[in-house]
């Protein structure tokens, strides 16, 4: 194609074959200073570019999570010209090195083979920037090839550029400057990976597929050829990449052109797999040892499993088979060391723990599949109903709530019970306190989740506190009497003859449907789930469990304590996050916090890490817990 720049024309310009040596990982105190310095420059530059319309930045007035979020946004919107001053670049990279070291990494060599006749093929669900030992990862770029410029947008383009650091965009700008035109669909440009575990990044612009009228093919032949071209071009580029002596050559593909680019995922998976297999068949002497299909959502994982199973005589690939290998990081190893010597263990958990088990209250795919009636009304996820009070009728309200309670109470992890995060937690407790460890006085569990998954997975009720309530009870909203709460099952039994579980509604065309609407047995007043959603919430059912928690805490603060916090985000930080941090503060060195989370929720104050009073692990709660179990049980 005229004007298209081949690798040979830009490789030396970006020093592609020169190994990149990242700066050493700083201490938490040094990383904080580097972060503050970088933010001062980036914010001043942002104000200058925007005519001083943005307010001046007072770094002392914002906390760490806000600082790291601001850094991500400022790097996202930064144009590559002029380049960052050398000292600022160093500050940014030192900060990112400190942040990246918290990631729980998965080794590409440990990924299981999914097609026995095709041992080069692997399928893995996870963060592509946390795949270690991989030669190259594929970035689904756009025609500008400079990365995404939308702050807060969690596309793969943004994720990869942030983890790699600003040199990645700088290299892309050099390449595109030489090329002098936008990148056509289906081609590839190669850069170094910089701060990524991957040595290289393959940037490819896949086709953008518009919505088309019913009856018209969703994808044109040209768009299909362009997507095939993206996969083929990346594989061809891999052949020219240098690796060290004795190393294997591997590439991880993200899902190209799906998402905002509109390519139907169920059709894109066929293109991806068929093109890769066709390339390997045509090139039996290929230098590529491993091709990883990397997915991020449960829906994409299911699509790839179905596609790969269709290539087997008998379907054998399941989510359980694809259970990721143990992950590793310095943070994980330190956490395991603390746990081994912990006199007492407090497990605290938020919504991220349930999400790790597959019960993600923010998942559109999960909601669309299981709540058809509400999806058709415009609702998109379970979380939409938190605080929702615009019901058209009590029948509509309770039709949904009964369906959702039944759904949550019947939840089974898609990966299978043996691979559930709760199974790994029980193994962790057993490793520390023996077979009866779940009843040990040295253990307590405190969760903001009302879903009851700890109870249904066999944990002792005597060692659990649920300060936000439970879906297992309905209560009188008037709190007419202290005992005005009852098990939800009796109300579900009463409603079942009238409940349409497809439409998620109480059927008002059946005589007596009014009996399905819960009423207080004492005052006949309105009822609701016994969850902390307002002043109506009754604390009475939870007084005893909270008392046991206070007793445990009082003793553990004297003896020593490790707090293992799993998936506690920022929606209700006062319930889990701030309480855990307070324990570290008042513990006078006897309390250590292990915080596990994703998307910044893993953050702890960096000075606490310097003092080995806290450690952050950026990773999925299930994968991290499994890895901790392996570290605890391996001599």
Mapping DSSP onto H, E and C, the string for 561-591 reads: EEEEEECCCCCCCCCCHHHHHHHHHHCCCCE
The gap from C-alpha 543 to its chain's centroid, in whole angstroms, comes to 34
Number of H helices, E strands in the chain: 21, 19
Do residues 248 and 264 touch, judged by C-beta distance below 8 A? no
Q: Which among 188, 186, 194, 189 has a CA at the least distance from the CA of 160?
A: 194
Pairing of strands 485-487, 106-107: unpaired
Pairing of strands 505-506, 499-500: antiparallel
| Cis status of the peptide bond prior to 82, with omega within 30 of 0 | yes
The verdict on whether residue 480 carries a ligand-binding annotation is yes
The gap from C-alpha 335 to its chain's centroid, in whole angstroms, comes to 20
**CA-based max dimension of the chain:** 82
Residues 6+ apart with CB under 8 A from 112: 122, 321, 322, 325
The gap from C-alpha 310 to its chain's centroid, in whole angstroms, comes to 28
| Integer Cα distance of 196 and 130 in angstroms | 8
The gap from C-alpha 369 to its chain's centroid, in whole angstroms, comes to 20
Q: In what order do the strands lie in the sheet with 485-487?
A: 485-487, 469-476, 527-531
The verdict on whether residue 476 carries a ligand-binding annotation is yes
3-state SS class at 526: strand
3-state SS class at 47: helix
Q: Which among 27, 53, 54 has a CA at the least distance from the CA of 39?
A: 54
Q: Sign of the C-alpha dihedral, residues 521, 522, 528, 531? A: negative
User: How many residues comprise the chain?
Assistant: 635
Q: Which among 14, 620, 628, 627 has a CA at the least distance from the CA of 297?
A: 620
The verdict on whether residue 520 carries a ligand-binding annotation is no
Burial class (CB in 10 A: 0-12, 13-18, 19+), 285: exposed
Burial class (CB in 10 A: 0-12, 13-18, 19+), 435: exposed
| Integer Cα distance of 602 and 65 in angstroms | 10
The gap from C-alpha 37 to its chain's centroid, in whole angstroms, comes to 29
How many Cβ atoms are within 10 Å of 525's Cβ, its own excluded? 14
Do residues 582 and 602 touch, judged by C-beta distance below 8 A? no
| Integer Cα distance of 480 and 343 in angstroms | 43
Task: Name the DSSP class of 635.
Answer: -
Q: Which among 382, 424, 427, 418 has a CA at the least distance from the CA of 400?
A: 382
Provide the annotated binding site.
476, 480, 523, 530
Which residue ranges are tagged as binding site for Zn(2+)? 476, 480, 523, 530
């Amino acid at each position: 194609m005229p004007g298209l720049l081949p690798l040979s024309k830009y490789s030396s310009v970006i020093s592609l074959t020169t190994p990149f040596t990242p700066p050493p990982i700083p201490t938490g105190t040094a990383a904080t200073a580097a972060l503050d310095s970088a933010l001062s420059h980036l914010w001043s530059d942002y104000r200058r570019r925007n005519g001083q319309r943005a307010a001046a930045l007072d770094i002392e007035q914002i906390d760490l999570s806000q600082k790291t979020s601001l850094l991500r946004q400022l790097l996202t919107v930064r144009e590559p010209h002029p380049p960052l001053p050398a000292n600022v670049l160093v500050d940014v990279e030192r900060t990112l090195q400190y942040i990246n070291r918290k990631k729980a990494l998965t080794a590409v060599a440990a990924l299981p083979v999914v097609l026995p006749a095709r041992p080069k093929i692997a399928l893995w669900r996870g963060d592509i920037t946390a795949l270690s030992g991989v030669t190259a990862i594929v970035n689904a770029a756009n025609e500008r090839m400079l990365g995404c410029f939308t702050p807060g947008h969690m596309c793969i383009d943004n994720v990869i550029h942030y983890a790699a650091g600003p040199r990645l965009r700088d290299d892309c700008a050099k390449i595109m400057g030489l090329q002098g035109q936008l990148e056509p669909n289906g081609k590839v440009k190669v850069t170094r990976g910089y701060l990524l575990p991957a040595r290289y990044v393959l940037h490819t612009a896949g086709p953008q597929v518009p919505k088309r009228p019913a009856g018209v093919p969703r994808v044109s032949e040209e768009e299909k050829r362009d997507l095939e071209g993206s996969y083929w071009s990346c594989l061809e580029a891999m052949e020219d990449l240098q690796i060290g002596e004795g190393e294997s050559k591997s590439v991880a593909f993200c899902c190209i052109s799906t998402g905002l680019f509109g390519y139907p995922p169920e059709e894109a998976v066929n293109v991806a797999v068929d093109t890769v297999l066709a390339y390997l068949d045509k090139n039996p002497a290929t230098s590529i040892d491993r091709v990883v299909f990397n997915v991020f959502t449960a829906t994409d994982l299911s699509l790839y499993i179905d596609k790969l199973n269709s290539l087997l005589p008998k379907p054998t690939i399941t989510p359980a088979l694809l259970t990721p290998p143990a992950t590793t990081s310095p943070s994980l190893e330190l956490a395991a060391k603390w746990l081994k010597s912990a006199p007492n263990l407090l497990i605290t958990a938020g919504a991220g723990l349930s999400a790790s088990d597959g019960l993600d209250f923010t998942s559109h795919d999960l909601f669309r599949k299981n709540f058809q009636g509400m999806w058709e009304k415009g609702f998109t996820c379970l979380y939409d109903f938190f605080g929702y009070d615009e019901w058209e009728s009590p029948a509509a309200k309770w039709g949904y709530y009964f369906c959702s309670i039944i759904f949550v109470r019947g939840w089974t992890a898609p990966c299978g019970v043996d691979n559930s995060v709760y199974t790994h937690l029980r193994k962790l407790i057993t490793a520390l306190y023996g077979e009866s460890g779940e009843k040990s006085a040295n253990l307590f569990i405190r969760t903001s989740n009302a879903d009851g998954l700890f109870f249904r997975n066999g944990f002792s009720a005597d060692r659990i506190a649920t300060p936000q309530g439970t879906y297992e009870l309905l209560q009188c909203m008037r709190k007419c009497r202290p005992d005005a709460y009852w098990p939800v099952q009796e109300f579900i039994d009463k409603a079942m003859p009238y409940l349409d579980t497809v439409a998620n509604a109480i059927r008002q065309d059946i005589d007596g449907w009014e009996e399905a609407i819960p009423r207080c047995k004492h005052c006949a007043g309105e009822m609701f789930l016994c969850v902390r959603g307002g002043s109506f919430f009754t604390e009475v059912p939870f007084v005893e469990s909270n008392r046991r928690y206070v007793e445990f805490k009082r003793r553990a603060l004297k003896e020593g304590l490790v707090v293992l916090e799993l998936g506690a985000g920022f929606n209700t930080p006062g319930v889990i996050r701030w309480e855990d941090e307070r324990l570290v503060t008042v513990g006078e060195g006897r309390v250590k916090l292990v915080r596990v989370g994703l998307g910044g929720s893993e953050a702890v104050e960096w000075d606490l890490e310097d003092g080995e009073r806290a450690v952050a692990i950026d990773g999925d709660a299930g994968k991290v817990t499994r890895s901790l179990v392996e570290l605890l049980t391996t001599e």
